[in-house]
Structure 1
C-alpha cells in the first residue's frame, strides 16, 4: 500500500485538495501541532486556500516530541480528516507545508517564525503548555519559562520562542506577527500578551517589550470541535477512504466553531468564508463554551471514569447520567451573560453532540490537567451561582467527582497516578486520607484556585462534603442514580 503524499493519485471516497498546495508559501507557524489543530485551524485554512489561494500554508511545530513530524513529513504534510456524524465524510488536507519537531529543533522553529513570510504564529499547547498563571502573569516557576529566562538566546518554550522571534524581526526591521492562541485558556489573547511582555521586559534590552506592545497583536479566540485521539479504526478508515496508507489521520465531529477578535497586525486568511465569526469581544462566547461545553465535559469525565464509562457517548447512553449532564448545562447557562443566543438550544445541541455514537471521545482524555481547567470551567461559575443564590448542586457534584477521582486507590491501596501538572501535590494531598472532610481540606490547601475558601466552607462546603462522602461510601454509580432522581423531583 502506497503512503499518502503530494504525488499520490486520487482514489477512494475522500475529497482531495481542489488547489495546488505547493503553489503557495507558508504564512502561519503553528506551535503544538496535535489532532485538534489539524481538525480545526488547518481545516478552515485548507478550505480558504481552495477558494481564495494565498500564501497561508502552515508550518507545524511540535515542541515535545517527533512522532507528528515522523508521521507527516514523509507524507508531504498530507493527512486525512474524517468527519463522523450521521454520515462519514473525509478530506485530504493540503494546507500543511511541513513539521518541525523535537526539542533539538527549536532553533529551526525560531528561524521559521523569524522569516519575512511569517505573519501569524498560532498555538494549541493546552493550558499547561504556556507557563502562564491563572491571572495572566508569567509563571517563572514553569520549567520551560525558567529555562528560557536563564537562556533567552536559545528558547525552547512557547513564550521564549515568541519573544525571541519578535526580537529577531525587530532587529531585521520586519513587521511583528499576530500571536493567535487557539486553546481553552480564558482570555487567552490578553493573558498571553501580558506574559510575553513580562518575559521580554525581563530578558531583552532596548525596549523590546514596548515595541511588541505597539506592533504585535494578540487576539483572543474561542474554538470548538470535539476531536478524540486517533485509533487503529481511524487509520483503517483513512486507508479505505483514500486508497493510501495514512498514519497521521484525524477524526472529528461535523460541528465546528471559531470566534476570533478581529485584531491582526499583518493580515490573515479569510476564515470568515468558512464560518469563522470575527467579533470585537470574544469574552461572552468564550464564557459560554468554557462553562457549558467544557464544564459539562469535566463533570462527566470524572464521574464517567468512576462509573466505568470509557467514552462520552457511554455517559450519554446511561439515562441517569445523561440527566446530570443536562442539569449541569442548565446550571452553567444561568451564569453566562452578554450573548443574544438561545442558551437552551445551545445546551440541547451540546447534549446531542455528546451523544454522537460515531465519536469515541475518551473520558480519560478529558480528565487530564484538572487543576488547569477547573478554575474557569467549574469554580468561576459556581462562585457566581453562590452569589446569585442560584442552584449550586451541579457544581458541587462536579468538584466532588474530581476529588473522588484523585482519591482512587489501586489494588494495594495506594493512590492512582493522575495526569496533571500538579500531580505530585495532588497525590500528596490524598495519600493516606479516606474521609471526605480531610480530603477536601487537603485539596483546598493544595489548590485554592480550584477550591477557594468560600467554596470549601459554609453551605457550599457542606454540600461538597456530603456529595464526596456519598461517592466514597456508596460508589459513583449509586450516587449518579440518586442525583438524577433528585433532579427529577
Structure 2
C-alpha cells in the first residue's frame, strides 16, 4: 500500500496546494472528524491560498478516540475530500493541517497548543454532546465525571475543559487575546460556548475562577456561526475508490456534497484567517441563519432519519424518495417551521426549503439513517422544540414536530440499550416493560429533554402518542394516508 504523505504525493507528480515549509500553526481545532476536514479545513486552506498568508495552519486535535489521529498522523496531516453529486469536482488533497494530536492520549499538549502565543483562533466541531451541557438548561453539567475531573485539576479531556485550561495558560503566560469559534449545530453556538467556559470558571475555587472569568471577558471572543455541508461516514469502499483515483491510499479520506456554507459573526478578539476570501459570509447577525438551518435542514434530517428507520430505509436518500417521508418533512417545514422563523434578509424561505429536500435526495452520498439518528436526546432540543413551542404559542397543533418526536421515541423504544445516545442508560431505564404509546410517551417525556410546559401540554403529548401508535402498528398505508391527507 502506497500511503498518502508529502513524499509519496511528490513522487506521484503532485504537490500540496500550500507551501508546507512556510505553513505556521495559527488555528487549533478540537474534534478533527470528517465534518472538520470537509468544511473548516477546506475554507482555511482556500483563505490561505487566496491571501498568501500561511500563518493559519491548523493544529488538529482528535476528540473521543485516537482513531482520526492514527489516520492523519502518518500522512503528516494530508487528506483528501471527494465531492459527490451534481457539480462534483476531482479528488482534492487538503494541506492546511500542520499537525495532529490525539486528545485523549495527550491532553496536556492540547492545553499547551491553545496556550501558544502563535495560536490566535480555536475552532471546534465536537457535536452537540461534546459540550457536556445539560439538555434542558444548556449549562455545563458539573456532575459529569469527566467535567468534574477537569475541574479538579486532571489533564483535561472534555472540550470545554481543554479550552478553559488553555485560556488559563494564555492568561498566565500573557500570550494575548484569542477567538473561540464553535462550528457545531447549536443555536447561538458561540454564546453557548462562552457561557460554558464561564460555568467552568465559576466552578473553580475562589480567586482562580474569578481571575480566569475576568480575563476571558476582556481577552476572548466567542462569535456565533452557521455551518452547512453534508458529510456522510466514509466507508471502506470509499477509501478504495479514492485510492483508485489518486493512486495513493488515504486513510483519512472524506466524502462530501458539493454544497458548502459558512456564516460567521464578525466578532474577533485578534487576527483571523480571511475566511470571507474563501466564500464565507461575515455578518453582524448570524441568528436568523442558524435558526433557519436548524429548524429546516437539521430538523428535516432528523425527521427523515427516525421516520425512515421505522419504514425500513437505510439511507437518507431512500427516505427522500419515499413519498410518505418526504411529505412529512415538506409539511413540517412549510406548515410549522417557516411560519415561525425570522428568515435572513434576502433569503427565499420556500426556495431554500426545496433546495434542502433536493440535497437530501442526493443518492451519491449514502448518508445513513442510523448515523443521522444518533444522539437524538441532544438534537431534539435545538432542532425541533423551538418550532413546536412557537406553534403552541400561536394556539396551533404541532402535528409534524410531534411526529418527529414520536418517531424518535419509537426508535429509542425499539433500540433499547443499543440506542446510540449519551443518555442511553437514562433512556433505557425509563422505558417501561410494555412498549405501547400510552406507556412509552409519558416515560420518555421525563428524560430531561423536554421543558416542563411541553411535558404538561396534553395537546403535544397527545399528538406524540397518536403518531407513536401509528408508527408502532407498522401499518405503512395508514401512516401514509394520514401524512399525505
Deviations 1:89-134 (A, max 9, x none): 2210000111100423001111111111111111111111112234
Distance 1:367 1:456, change over 3 A: farther
TM-score by length of 1: 0.93
In 2, distance between residues paired with 1:479 and 1:245? 49
Segment of structure 1 superposing worse, 244-253 or 332-341: 332-341
Could you say which residue in structure 2 is the equivalent of 1:252?
Answer: 256
Q: In the TM superposition, what is the alpha-carbon distance from 1:10 to its structure 2 partner?
A: 5.8
In 1, distance between residues paired with 2:148 and 2:477? 46
Segment of structure 1 superposing worse, 157-166 or 295-304: 157-166
In 1, distance between residues paired with 2:327 and 2:11? 44
In structure 1, runs of 5+ residues without a counterpart are: 410-414
2:392 corresponds, among 386, 392, 395, to: 386
In 1, distance between residues paired with 2:142 and 2:105? 22
Could you say which residue in structure 1 is the equivalent of 2:52?
Answer: 53
**Alignment of 1:332 onto 2:337:** yes
Q: In the TM superposition, what is the alpha-carbon distance from 1:18 to its structure 2 partner?
A: 3.0
SS in 2 for 1:59: strand
Could you say which residue in structure 2 is the equivalent of 1:74?
Answer: 74
In 2, distance between residues paired with 1:249 and 1:143? 34
Could you say which residue in structure 1 is the equivalent of 2:153?
Answer: 151
**Alignment of 1:351 onto 2:357:** yes
Q: In the TM superposition, what is the alpha-carbon distance from 1:450 to its structure 2 partner?
A: 2.7
SS in 2 for 1:407: helix
Alignment of 1:174-189 (within 5 A): 174-189=175-190
Alignment of 1:416-435 (within 5 A): 417-435=418-436
Q: In the TM superposition, what is the alpha-carbon distance from 1:179 to its structure 2 partner?
A: 0.8
Segment of structure 1 superposing worse, 343-352 or 53-62: 53-62
Segment of structure 1 superposing worse, 364-373 or 426-435: 426-435
Q: In the TM superposition, what is the alpha-carbon distance from 1:321 to its structure 2 partner?
A: 2.0
Distance 1:397 1:236, change over 3 A: same
**Alignment of 1:342 onto 2:348:** yes
Distance 1:205 1:459, change over 3 A: closer
In 2, distance between residues paired with 1:395 and 1:115? 46
Aligned residues: 477
Segment of structure 1 superposing worse, 198-207 or 252-261: 198-207
Distance 1:113 1:336, change over 3 A: same
Counterpart contact for 1:444–1:456, Cα < 8 Å: no
Q: How large is the RMSD of aligned CA atoms in angstroms? A: 2.0
Counterpart contact for 1:132–1:191, Cα < 8 Å: no
Counterpart contact for 1:16–1:91, Cα < 8 Å: no
In 1, distance between residues paired with 2:7 and 2:227? 32
SS in 2 for 1:268: coil
Could you say which residue in structure 2 is the equivalent of 1:215?
Answer: 219
Counterpart contact for 1:149–1:199, Cα < 8 Å: yes
Deviations 1:122-156 (A, max 9, x none): 1111111112234342210223211111226x222
In 2, distance between residues paired with 1:289 and 1:202? 33
1:236 corresponds, among 236, 240, 251, to: 240
In 2, distance between residues paired with 1:114 and 1:254? 35
In 1, distance between residues paired with 2:294 and 2:474? 30
In structure 2, runs of 5+ residues without a counterpart are: none
Counterpart contact for 1:444–1:453, Cα < 8 Å: no
Deviations 1:359-395 (A, max 9, x none): 1111101111111110121112111012124452111
Distance 1:335 1:372, change over 3 A: same
TM-score by length of 2: 0.94
In 2, distance between residues paired with 1:11 and 1:224? 35
Counterpart contact for 1:130–1:158, Cα < 8 Å: yes
In 1, distance between residues paired with 2:307 and 2:452? 22
**Alignment of 1:296 onto 2:291:** no
Could you say which residue in structure 1 is the equivalent of 2:139?
Answer: 137
Q: In the TM superposition, what is the alpha-carbon distance from 1:479 to its structure 2 partner?
A: 4.7
